[in-house]
Amino acid sequence: MQKIGLDIVGLSYSQTQSGAYALVLAEKEGKRRLPIIIGGFEAQAIAIELEDMTPSRPLTHDLFQSFAEAYKIELQEVIIYNLIEGIFYAKLICMQNGKQTEIDARTSDAVALAVRFKCPIYTFEFILENAGIILDEDAEGETTPAPASSKKEPKKEKKGIASLNMSELNQRLEKAIESENYEEASRLRDEIQRRSESNN
């Protein structure tokens, strides 16, 4: 599959998820944008590097960079290679002594490292096709998000938490934790606890 280059064009507080931030990536040769919800710590790590700030002590991503450089490991590129149930998957392409290695990483961590190593960020067409948006300018000049493709099938809505039984709630909780979707995990945990207390 052909890789599509991405640039960081925005980082803002999420209006839909408390404590989260929206990282917006744009394809280099097109108009599509790829919004990714990330945590506050990762957003801070990206923002500090983009603003060319130097923290008093190294952050986790700074430590990783120093460690890699000490052992002559070069981060060549970051690839956002998959999207499953709203979760983006990324990998680091590293080179050491002529040997290339791929390392699985959360997308937010991968981007935080990409800005430190000043390496390119890529994705694939099917990800932009499914999760990208195009900013359409209306008559007043404001920008509003529009689907990147009119061919997309409407997404099936998940059953609401209130309609799930306890077994389904626990199954979805395990899945949310495994995929590191901690916001959903928190909502599910609260619902399980509420029902348990009401049954006592």
What are the boundaries of each domain within the chain?
3-147, 161-199
CA 147 to chain CA centroid, Å, is 19
Which band of pLDDT confidence, cut at 50, 70 and 90, is reported for residue 136? low
- Is it the case that residue 70 has pLDDT exceeding 80? yes
Which band of pLDDT confidence, cut at 50, 70 and 90, is reported for residue 181? low
**What integer is the mean pLDDT of 6-34?**
88
Burial of 88 (0-12, 13-18, 19+ CB in 10 A): buried
Q: Which of 126, 125, 76, 123 is nearest to 96 (CA)?
A: 76
**What integer is the mean pLDDT of 58-79?**
96
Residues of the chain with pLDDT > 70: what percent? 80
Q: Out of 66-70, 144-148, 170-174, which region has the weakest mean confidence (pLDDT)? A: 144-148
Give the pLDDT confidence of 73-103 residue by residue, as tens digits: 999 999 999 999 889 999 999 999 999 999 9
- Is it the case that residue 151 has pLDDT exceeding 70? no
Mean pLDDT estimate for the chain: 83
- Is it the case that residue 197 has pLDDT exceeding 60? yes
Q: How far is residue 27's CA from residue 34's CA, in Å, rounded to a whole number?
A: 8
Class for the domain spanning 3-147: alpha beta
pTM: 0.68
DSSP state of 153: P
Quote the pLDDT of residue 172: 86
